[in-house]
Amino acid sequence: MNGRLLLALLLGVFMGALDNAILAPALPAIAEDLGTGVDRVTLAFSIYSVFYAVAVPILGRLSDLWGYGRIYGTSMALFAGGSALAALSSNLETLVVARVIQAVGAGGLFPVAQAIVGATVAQEKRGAYLGQILGVFALGNVLGPNLGGFIVERASWHWVFWINVPIGLIGVLLLLGSPLPKPQGRAILDLVGGLLVALTFGSLVLGIQGLERLTELGFFSLRIGGLFLLSVISALLLVLYESRHPAPLLDVRLALSPPFLPLWLVSTLVGYALLGGIIFAPLYAQVAFFLSPFASGAILNALALALGGMSGFAGAMVGRLGGKRLVVLGMGFTALGLFLMAYLANTLFVLLLGLFLLGTGLGMVQGPLSYLALGLAPEGSQGQVSSLVSLTRSLGAAAGITISGVLLSRKSQELASLTAGGPVGFSGGTGNLAEAPAFVKALLQNTLGAGVLDGWRLAFFAALLGFAAAFLLREAPKAQAAAGTPKPPRPSGPPAR
């Protein structure tokens, strides 16, 4: 892979990661400028998750059929165009449309970048490139919140979107002159398969997001149950239809083959452990250790720096040690970090140590998981396989955010009932707790703090399950051959007709 192509991949991945992290500090400013509430502005960000989940498997497969460069370049252009439209938005409706365009573009960035590595780089060198991609992804997440706060304070929220436009344009120009492999499959547009994919994953994400309303709707909601039922029915129809299609959009025989099933499980649990572990960590630092909002947000740098550093190290070592060994070790570190956070975080030092170990473990897992997936993928299926790794991780992350939010919401309702409109309602924020009365601090620790700990305990058990599932992973064939062990048969697509 030449430097021009690598830079194009890194710019696209960095742009997508930065956008996810840079927006959170800008939400209040966006809501105020558009004349609406923060709760309504979050619609533009919730719908992003839905369309991203739909776009990832579709664009991943289309990159195999129509060419990696064509899909990756189109994705960068869509993301940059959506960013420009978002920056120009003067109302919520335009912003929602812009976020949909961004989501579709984002669906072809991270997974297709990894697919390009799988298609153009020999397996023994692949880990180093995947490590660079994941390191840049972590860098975008580290810089995002701080850069977002700086932009909103010094300029306007529009620039959190404008910043993507030159990055995307430069990436597209770099990609135009880069040599890429030609498409391996027939360029047949499977419209029915695309519709079933959209129904399966779109309704699943909407159902997961709807779980946050269980505290309002009770344990059963016809709407939420209907979304999950629609997802299950669509998934069954998808399997039946695509298994008979001569050129399926989603090769279900490959996706459901034994080498890949434990990989999807581990990827899902990794996503849950990551977001379940970090989403409310700043809040816990505020209510448990009385840090300011700025200082509490900064504690995530411990995780992000460990994640970025270990991603590069794991990428360099995966060719020697093998992907499976690193994933097992990484899931062990992930579980250890979450154990410290869930059960022993009585001091700020222990919390920071837990976050650091969590980042270390996840850094050891994410690149090697992609390495294993690409190593097991048949020729011409790298886009589909890498997109499913990204999709399962995103679904796990959505579940981690939602379930942790449900647990915290129940505790916040308990807090509201105890204070009865007093000075520390959750919806109004925790304020400067260092100067709060002792009974207020204790109340917050026993309600909101306990809710965060409940979420971390579930994330810990998810990491333990991921640790056990990692032993079921299969090493990439070439890595096994190098180690002198038998090479397993590669999974195959639909039989010839």
105 vs 409: which has the higher pLDDT: 105
The arithmetic mean of pLDDT across residues 69-74, rounded, is 92
Question: Which CATH number is 131's domain given?
Answer: 1.20.1250.20
211 vs 162: which has the higher pLDDT: 162
- Residue 437 above 80 pLDDT? no
Q: Are residues 362 and 468 in the same domain?
A: yes
Residue where a domain stops, chosen among 187, 210, 226: 187
DSSP 305-372: HHHHHHHHHHHHHHHHH-HHHHHHHHHHHHHHHHHHHHHS--SHHHHHHHHHHHHHHHHHHHHHHHHH
Q: Are residues 369 and 236 in the same domain?
A: no
150-163 pLDDT per residue, tens: 887 788 889 999 99
CB environment 394-425: b (16+ within 10 A), e (fewer): bbbbbbbbbbbbbbbbbbbebbbeebeeeebe
- Residue 64 above 80 pLDDT? yes
The enclosing H or E element of 201 equals helix 191-210
The arithmetic mean of pLDDT across residues 67-95, rounded, is 93
- Residue 128 above 50 pLDDT? yes
- Residue 229 above 80 pLDDT? yes
- Residue 488 above 50 pLDDT? no
- Of the spans 25-34, 184-193, 325-334, 395-404, which averages the highest pLDDT? 325-334
Residue 238 maps to a domain: yes
Q: Are residues 167 and 311 in the same domain?
A: no
- Residue 484 above 70 pLDDT? no
The Cα 356–Cα 351 span in angstroms is 9
Q: How many CA atoms lie within 13 A of 280 on its CB side?
A: 27
Q: Are residues 269 and 385 in the same domain?
A: yes
Average confidence score pLDDT of the chain:
83
Residue where a domain stops, chosen among 225, 244, 263: 244
Q: Are residues 434 and 482 in the same domain?
A: yes
- Residue 369 above 50 pLDDT? yes
Q: How many CA atoms lie within 13 A of 46 on its CB side?
A: 17
Q: Are residues 425 and 364 in the same domain?
A: yes
451 vs 332: which has the higher pLDDT: 332
- Residue 222 above 80 pLDDT? no
Residue 421 maps to a domain: yes
- Residue 364 above 70 pLDDT? yes
Q: What is the pLDDT of residue 342?
A: 95
Q: Are residues 487 and 349 in the same domain?
A: yes
Which of left, alpha, beta for 484 (phi over 0: left; psi -120 to 50: alpha)? left
Q: What is the pLDDT of residue 438?
A: 60
Q: Are residues 114 and 171 in the same domain?
A: yes
Instruction: Out of 8-12, 148-152, 348-352, pick the least confident.
Output: 148-152
- Residue 494 above 60 pLDDT? no
Give the range of the structural domain holding residue 128, as residue numbers without chain letter: 1-187
Q: What is the pLDDT of residue 257?
A: 92
Q: Are residues 147 and 4 in the same domain?
A: yes
Q: Are residues 332 and 295 in the same domain?
A: yes
389-425 pLDDT per residue, tens: 989 998 998 888 888 888 887 776 666 565 654 444 4
The enclosing H or E element of 377 equals none
Residue 25's nearest CA partner among 146, 143, 139 is 146
Q: Are residues 287 and 358 in the same domain?
A: yes
Q: What is the C-alpha end-to-end distance of the chain, expressed in Å? A: 36
Residue 275's nearest CA partner among 14, 21, 56 is 21
Q: How many CA atoms lie within 13 A of 158 on its CB side?
A: 11
Banded model confidence at residue 338, pLDDT cuts 50, 70, 90: very high
What percent of the chain stands above pLDDT 90?
A: 37
Residue 249 maps to a domain: no
- Of the spans 112-121, 199-208, 342-351, which averages the highest pLDDT? 342-351
Q: Are residues 168 and 214 in the same domain?
A: no
The arithmetic mean of pLDDT across residues 129-145, rounded, is 82
The arithmetic mean of pLDDT across residues 61-78, rounded, is 90
Q: What is the pLDDT of residue 332?
A: 97
Q: How many CA atoms lie within 13 A of 15 on its CB side?
A: 36
Q: What is the pLDDT of residue 9?
A: 94
Residue where a domain stops, chosen among 244, 264, 289: 244
